[in-house]
């Protein structure tokens, strides 16, 4: 029988080096609107799935990273070739005001958050995005609202726990859709 220790040591060193780097991850929406997963994107400070609205001045696919110790999701634009990139690294926020159902947005450090919004309390539970306020449970209250453009949805945080007839409950996950590999 051979010794597995060198293999385990090499694996541990590899994992340590990967974890120490700034890892980013895309998010995908799943639900009735997106059974195979629609990528979360940034457009003019708001979160969309299914693509970008045509009116957007700044629109880009993003990866997020969890800011260490802050429980914040920081966005980075995925620019390739001629694709646009974000001019900053904005932080994702949700409006947790009781009864609210407002868009998920992004803000930079020099911008003031909308009233009732928070940019802290985010995390991943097995690849599922959650938000947690102090002294509360994990919440996954994301919904997709259709825009005037076919197949493009505005992502909202449903603090009200109710929804309009055209809103669709979604979950945001780091799980890449299988269809992307076909």
Using one digit for the tens of pLDDT, what is the confidence trace for 121-145?
Answer: 999 999 999 999 888 889 999 999 9
pLDDT at 146 over 60: yes
**Could you tell me the CATH number of the domain that includes residue 31?**
2.80.10
Say how far residue 84 (Cα) sits from the centre of its chain.
19
Total domains present in the chain: 1
Range of the domain at 60: 22-181
DSSP 53-112: -TT-SSEEEEEEEEETTTTEEEEEE---TT----SS-PEEEEE--TT-EEE-EEE-TTSP
Using one digit for the tens of pLDDT, what is the confidence trace for 79-98?
Answer: 654 445 576 789 999 999 99
């Amino acid at each position: 029988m051979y010794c597995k220790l060198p293999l385990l040591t090499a694996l541990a060193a590899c994992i340590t080096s990967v974890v120490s780097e700034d890892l980013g991850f895309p998010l995908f929406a799943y639900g009735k609107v997106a059974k195979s997963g629609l990528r979360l994107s940034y457009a003019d400070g708001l979160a969309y799935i299914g693509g970008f609205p045509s009116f957007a001045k700044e629109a880009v696919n993003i990866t997020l990273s969890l800011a260490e110790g802050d429980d914040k999701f920081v966005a980075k634009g995925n620019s390739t070739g001629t694709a646009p990139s974000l001019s900053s690294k904005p932080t994702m926020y949700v409006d947790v005001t009781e009864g609210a159902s407002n868009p998920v947005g992004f803000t930079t450090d020099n911008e003031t958050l909308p009233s009732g919004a928070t940019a802290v309390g985010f995390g991943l539970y097995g690849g599922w995005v959650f938000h947690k306020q102090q002294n509360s449970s994990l919440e996954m209250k994301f919904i997709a609202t259709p825009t005037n453009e076919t197949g493009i949805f505005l992502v909202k945080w449903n603090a009200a726990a109710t929804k309009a007839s055209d809103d669709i409950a979604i979950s945001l996950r780091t799980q890449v859709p299988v269809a992307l590999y076909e």
